Chain A
Amino acid sequence: MPRVWKFPDSINTDDILPGKYAPFMVGEDVFQTYAFAHLRPEFASQVRPGDVLVGGRNWGLGSSREYAPQALKKLGVAGIVAASFARIHYRNLLNLGVPAFEAPSVIEALQDGDEVTLDVNSGLLVRGADTFQLTAPPEFLREALKEGSILAYYRKHQKFPGE
């Protein structure tokens, strides 16, 4: 059963993947094993595909490094639920097709280790008898996500959504 990994406010990209563990520093194949190396060293070895990361305000502040969300994607994280997201990181998540839900009202109810399932398409997070409806991304981004990612959208249409 997938689980919740609960994080505090202001998780930055150095927390998600410290700069010294960038792929070009340690190798494309292993960089994801350093996700949250400083903050939660057990994370990368214990996270399972389908797990959901829950954060507070301003998730992903800091660097534009796309390999931070890439590391989470490689580890099989199903999605991230946060009170709010930092701008560059939010774009990076959607570009990579990692679902990101701004859902400030549900953060408090979710605890570390909760067993949950996340239905990305409906935005439904289910924990036992509890069901949480998450807010979907803005419409023009949803248009892109229908194709899997903005990259996939561009590849197919040779233009940006709304262009």
Chain B
Amino acid sequence: MTPNQPPRTMAEKILSARSGKFVSAGDLAVVEVDQVMIVDSIAQSVIKVLADLEATPKFPERVSFVIDHVAPASTVSVAEAQKEAREYASAHGCRLFDVGRGICHQVLMEEGLARPGWIVLGSDSHSTTYGAVGAFGTGMGATDIALAAASGKTWLKVPESVKVTFAGDLRPGVSAKDAALEMIRVLGADGATYMSVEIHAGDRFTRGERMTLANLCVEAGAKCGLAVPGGEVLSDYGYDFPSWVYPDEGATYLREVTIDLSALQPRMSAPSEVDNVHDVSALRGLKVDQVFIGTCTNGRLEDLHAAADVLQGQRVAPHTRLLVIPASSVVMEQAMADGTLLTLMQAGAILGTPGCGPCMGRHQGVLAPGEVCVSTSNRNFIGRMGAAESKVYLASPAVAAATAVLGHIGLPEDLKVTVAS
């Protein structure tokens, strides 16, 4: 900040740095793009637009294809689409993360393909996840993604910002997922539309927890969810954090919200809008047919640990199915090495290939009419995971695990009572 420039938000600072000119909320910025991520479900469309443009990726090393949404392929047409993505990546020198490597957002973070101050565009709405490490991550459709691949740039309207401050400490049994659901309840499903959610949490939250928070910002409509660097992301991952990534003191926010973590109870989003958030205790007792632990929101090692802590020595209820899908091959290997997978399987969990799994109702664990699923994912829309008459409730891994054992919605503490009686 120089004397004649007003203090700026994190979004304004990143977009200024990456567009090479001073921009503030409302301005149009054309920015260099550091990474373009393309998932299997949209790869064909992107390739078609590139062909229409008679263009190829300008910087192939900045383009990653990830086959995760239906992995492995479920039908011949899906297999054909994935084959096309594979061949295109190979022919043009782009990165390819094939079946089983994991969910796009988890994989890019593991591979260091999202870094502080970078612009990362993904063909998936949850590309806000990259804000966990201070990257401006945002989701776009096939046309925008193809244009970014072809030009190495994109246009962005510089967003207004909402400042969300997390204060206090989470109580035992309450997680970053609960904090994220509370944030969505407070903001509302369109409360941050077109905006940047700037997350101020000091040194609270691990990188994985920050991914959960940034991931869910899009469920408040946000363009990006930028976590001010702090805590583990500063010390453990060896990233350079340029000073221009940090927001300026006195920056202008459209709205400021503080969430007291110490007052937070485990939260659950009931059908069929993500901001329909309640305390788990208010929904307790509802019979559940399927529990799904995984996805870009909560499929990381720490999430599997949280589930295993609850499931240790327990058994999934006879009428309930528990699906566990690690977010990546790395997560799966670590969970295998440390015994977590054994604990989960001894409790009756069914394991799936690292990937998105049943989150969007395309394969694996599709719900029948009338069925109820508690999921650690990020959307509970009508018919999201199968039949229009099925219902999806969103919760933390610990609550999901307890629900699987109980066979109905409940908390880890209910489980202990049930077992003792």
Task: Please give me the 4 A-B residue pairs with the lowest Cβ-Cβ distance, nearest first.
Answer: A66-B141, A19-B360, A38-B388, A58-B190
Contact at B53–A12, with CB atoms within 8 Å?
no
- State the CA gap A23–B43 with chains docked (Å): 11
- State the CA gap A160–B154 with chains docked (Å): 8
Residue of B nearest to A162 (CB): B28
Contact at A151–B147, with CB atoms within 8 Å?
yes
Contact string against B for A residues 67-89, beta-carbon threshold 8 Å, 1 for contact and 0 otherwise? 10100000000000000111110
Q: In the assembled complex, how far is the CB of residue A143 from the closest CB belonging to chain B, in whole angstroms?
A: 10
* Cβ of A117 under 8 Å from chain B: no
Point out the residues of chain A lying under 8 angstroms from B124, CB to CB. 63-64
* Cβ of A126 under 8 Å from chain B: no
Q: Which of B74-82, B331-339, B397-405 contacts A (4 or more CB under 8 A)?
A: B74-82
Contact at B362–A95, with CB atoms within 8 Å?
no
* Cβ of B45 under 8 Å from chain A: yes
* Cβ of B42 under 8 Å from chain A: yes
Point out the residues of chain B lying under 8 angstroms from A95, CB to CB. 141, 143-144
- State the CA gap A37–B384 with chains docked (Å): 12
Given A38-B383, A38-B388, answer yes or no on A64-B139 (Cβ-Cβ < 8 Å). yes
Q: In the assembled complex, how far is the CB of residue A33 from the closest CB belonging to chain B, in whole angstroms?
A: 15
Contact at B140–A91, with CB atoms within 8 Å?
yes
Contact at B193–A15, with CB atoms within 8 Å?
no
Q: Which residues of B contact A (CB under 8 A)?
A: 28, 30, 40-42, 44-45, 49, 52-53, 70, 75, 77-78, 80-81, 122-125, 127, 139-144, 147, 151, 153-155, 157, 189-190, 193-194, 221, 223, 273, 360-362, 366, 379, 381-384, 386, 388
Q: Given contacts A23-B45, A63-B124, A87-B194, could you give 8 more A-B pairs where the C-beta distance is less than 8 Å?
A: A20-B386, A24-B70, A24-B77, A38-B388, A88-B141, A151-B143, A154-B53, A160-B147
* Cβ of A6 under 8 Å from chain B: no
Contact at A10–B361, with CB atoms within 8 Å?
no
Given A15-B381, A86-B193, answer yes or no on A22-B41 (Cβ-Cβ < 8 Å). yes
Given A24-B81, A151-B143, A162-B30, answer yes or no on A19-B49 (Cβ-Cβ < 8 Å). no
Given A10-B273, A18-B361, answer yes or no on A27-B77 (Cβ-Cβ < 8 Å). yes
* Cβ of A163 under 8 Å from chain B: yes
- State the CA gap A22–B70 with chains docked (Å): 11
Given A14-B379, A151-B49, answer yes or no on A87-B144 (Cβ-Cβ < 8 Å). no
Q: In the assembled complex, how far is the CB of residue A95 from the closest CB belonging to chain B, in whole angstroms?
A: 4
Contact at B379–A18, with CB atoms within 8 Å?
no
A-B contacts, CB under 8 A, total: 141
* A and B contact pairs by CB, cutoff 8 A, 10 listed: A14-B360, A14-B382, A18-B383, A20-B362, A24-B40, A24-B41, A92-B143, A161-B155, A162-B28, A162-B155
The A10-38 residues at the B interface (CB cut-off 8 A) are 10, 12, 14-15, 18-20, 22-27, 37-38
Point out the residues of chain A lying under 8 angstroms from B193, CB to CB. 58, 84-87
Which one of B40, B139, B362, B381 contacts A88 once the chains associate, using CB atoms below 8 Å? B139
The A35-52 residues at the B interface (CB cut-off 8 A) are 37-39
Residue of B nearest to A90 (CB): B194
Given A87-B221, A95-B143, answer yes or no on A62-B381 (Cβ-Cβ < 8 Å). yes
Point out the residues of chain B lying under 8 angstroms from A20, CB to CB. 360-362, 366, 386
Contact at A160–B30, with CB atoms within 8 Å?
yes
Contact at A63–B155, with CB atoms within 8 Å?
no
Given A14-B382, A154-B151, answer yes or no on A64-B125 (Cβ-Cβ < 8 Å). yes
Contact at B153–A88, with CB atoms within 8 Å?
no
Q: In the assembled complex, how far is the CB of residue B84 from the closest CB belonging to chain A, in whole angstroms?
A: 9
- State the CA gap A18–B45 with chains docked (Å): 17
Contact string against B for A residues 1-14, beta-carbon threshold 8 Å, 1 for contact and 0 otherwise? 00000000010101
* Cβ of A96 under 8 Å from chain B: yes
Contact at A154–B139, with CB atoms within 8 Å?
no
Q: In the assembled complex, how far is the CB of residue B24 from the closest CB belonging to chain A, in whole angstroms?
A: 15
